Amino acid sequence: MNPASARPYRGVFPVAPTIFDDRGELDLDGQRRCIDFMIDAGSNGICILANFSEQFVLTDAERDLVLDAVLKHVAGRVPVIVTTTHFASHICAERSRRAEQAGAAMVMVMPPYHGATIRAGEAGIYEFFATLSDAIEIPIMIQDAPVSGTALSAPFLARMAKEIANVAYFKIEVPYAAAKLREMIRLGGDAVEGPWDGEEAITLMADLDAGATGTMPSAAYPDALRRIVDDFAAGRRDAAMAGYARWLPLINYENRQCGLLACKALMKEGGIIACEGARHPIPPLHPATRAGLVEIARTLDPLILRWGR
């Protein structure tokens, strides 16, 4: 196993997109090339089957195919986090056991939610994560993101870190993420093993200053984000800030204009994958939006535009 896999996990753990062909079927060869690029680009680890992986358009059988293909192909080169979110406690636990048996280093899970109105209360959320923790031996990352529509306070997250054995990592990607990270770390202490951010790293510098030790962006430019995070971790904050300022226009364009389609568009542009499409009914990027993305990216010369050429 790569030394980067030793706990605590730190650094840049991008979300791998799920690769489809022109018919909308899984392209597992393209998936493997995507993973190889991510590792070559310096990713400390990889997350699969997340929202940015379009996990919500996959059947259970397809989830298993992607899980097995990726973990077999990674073969221990870097740690792999598997998203196992499900509303039902026992199904989430079953998914998580399956991921652990396949070789996952960690699972990432959102609090139980469905649609716009069905939520669990705080007691139910606590029991949900306690049930999950009892089912596995690897760490759990709680994903705190607006898509769940569930308020998770810093005191509640810190309490779960202290009281639930495997709850140790937190991906915070809500408004005022830095303030929440800072408060959670203060309250949770050493029980908060991994305070991370997400949302394409759009708040990365503020979050690193608040104590974040990891980030989970898209897979578009882990080479750039790795340099920023490494500089910050080595005490070179000025260099990290300069790097962040240089890449922020692309980070912003991805986050505000493209969403989960940006990474695939750049992978296609760079010859990594053959098809950049998402599954219907997700529409493709408007040609002008895609052109703007590629234009900004070319000024920065990310590995994604060169790796497959």
Q: What are the residues facing 140 on neighbouring strands?
A: 107, 167
Catalytic annotation, pick one of 171, 180, 264, 268: 171
In the predicted model, is pLDDT for residue 8 greater than 70?
yes
Three-state SS across 245-299? HHHHHHHHHHHHHHCCHHHHHHHHHCCCCCCCCCCCCCCCCCHHHHHHHHHHHHH
Reported as a single tens digit per residue, the pLDDT across 48-58 is 999 999 999 99
pLDDT confidence of residue 40: 98
Q: How many angstroms separate the first and last alpha carbons of the chain? A: 29
Predicted confidence (pLDDT) per residue in 86-123, tens digit: 999 999 999 999 999 999 999 999 999 999 999 999 99
Instruction: Give the list of residues 6+ apart from residue 308 with CB closer than 8 angstroms, or none.
Output: 33, 37, 267, 270, 271, 272, 273
pLDDT at 275: 98
Q: What is the mean pLDDT of residues 137-141?
A: 98
The residue type of 79 is: P
Work out the average pLDDT over 35-53: 98
Nearest Cα residue to 20 out of 269, 281, 277: 277
Report whether pLDDT(4) > 80.
no
Give the Cα separation of 72 and 95 in Å (integer): 17
Phi–psi pair at 114, nearest 5 degrees: -150, 125
Give yes or no: 180 in active site: no
pLDDT-based confidence at residue 6 (cuts at 50, 70, 90): confident
- C-alpha 297: how far from its chain's center? 21
Q: Distance (Å, rounded) from C-alpha 155 to C-alpha 192?
A: 12
Query: Which residues contact residue 252 at a Cβ distance below 8 angstroms, ignoring those fewer than 6 apart?
Result: 202
pLDDT averaged over the chain? Answer: 97
CA–CA–CA angle 295, 298, 301 (5° rounding): 160
